[in-house]
C-alpha cells in the first residue's frame, strides 16, 4: 500500500497532500523537527524528530519504500530516496528519478557553492498557483502509476 512521506518543515503543499491522500485512502507521515498542526484524521500521522542535521531525512529514508512517495524540496534527500527506488516529488510537481537526480544534485551543489562565494545572490522564483496545480497533477498521476505497478518484495538478506 502506498504511503506519502512529507518533509514538512518548509513544505508549501501539505494541505494538498492531505486532500489527495484522503481521496485515495493513503497514509501520510508529516515529518518535521518541530511541532506543527496537522489534521486530526486517522490516515495522517505527525512525526516530530530530534533537532539536528538530516534527522528528519534519515527517518524518512529508513521507512519509505518502492511503493511510497516522498514529497520534498531537499535535493540531497531526494537523491537518497531515488537511490532507494522511492518515488520522489518536489512541491512544484517535478518528479525526481534516476535520470534526473544526478544533474539536479550537481546544479544544487554548484549554485550552493556560487552563493557561498557571493557570486550568485538570486534565488528561486516564489511558489505560485501554477506550481500548486502542477504539484496536484503530478501527485495524482504518480499515485495512479504506483497503484498499477507490482511492488517488489523486500527480502531479508541471508547471512
Q: In which element (H, E) is residue 153 found?
A: none
Q: In which element (H, E) is residue 58 found?
A: helix 55-63
Given a cut of 70, is residue 57 above it in pLDDT? yes
Of the candidates 38, 95, 37, 88, the one whose C-alpha atom is nearest the C-alpha of residue 64 is: 88
Higher pLDDT, 30 or 154: 30
* Averaged pLDDT, 75-96: 92
Task: Name the 3-class secondary structure at 154.
Answer: coil
* Averaged pLDDT, 77-99: 91
pLDDT band at 17 (very low <50, low <70, confident <90, very high): very high
Strands (E), the chain: 3-7, 27-32, 44-48, 69-71, 87-89, 95-96
C-alpha cell at 98: 534516476
Distances (CA, A) of 80 to 24, 67, 83, 115: 26, 15, 5, 24
Higher pLDDT, 157 or 83: 83
pLDDT band at 61 (very low <50, low <70, confident <90, very high): very high
* Averaged pLDDT, 82-107: 83
**pTM of the entire predicted model:** 0.82
Which is it for strands 44-48 and 69-71: parallel, antiparallel or unpaired? Answer: unpaired
What fold characterizes domain 3-148?
Rossmann fold (3.40.50)
* Averaged pLDDT, 64-81: 93
| Cα-trace Rg, the chain | 16
Mean pLDDT value across the chain: 86
Distance of CA 156 to the CA centre of its chain: 26
Amino acid at each position: 500500500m502506498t504511503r506519502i512521506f512529507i518533509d514538512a518543515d518548509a513544505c508549501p503543499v501539505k494541505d494538498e497532500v492531505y486532500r489527495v491522500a484522503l481521496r485515495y485512502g493513503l497514509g501520510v507521515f508529516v515529518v518535521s523537527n518541530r511541532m506543527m498542526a496537522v489534521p486530526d484524521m486517522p490516515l495522517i500521522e505527525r512525526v516530530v524528530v530530534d533537532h539536528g542535521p538530516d534527522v528528519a531525512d534519515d527517518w524518512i529514508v529508513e521507512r519509505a519504500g518502492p511503493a511510497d512517495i516522498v514529497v520534498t524540496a531537499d535535493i540531497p534527500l531526494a537523491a537518497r530516496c531515488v537511490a532507494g527506488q522511492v518515488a520522489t516529488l518536489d512541491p512544484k510537481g517535478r518528479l525526481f528519478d534516476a535520470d534526473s537526480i544526478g544533474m539536479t544534485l550537481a546544479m544544487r551543489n554548484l549554485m550552493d557553492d556560487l552563493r557561498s562565494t557571493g557570486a550568485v545572490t538570486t534565488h528561486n522564483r516564489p511558489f505560485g498557483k501554477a506550481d500548486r496545480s502542477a504539484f496536484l497533477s503530478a501527485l495524482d498521476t504518480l499515485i495512479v502509476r504506483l497503484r498499477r505497478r507490482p511492488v517488489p518484495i523486500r527480502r531479508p538478506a541471508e547471512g
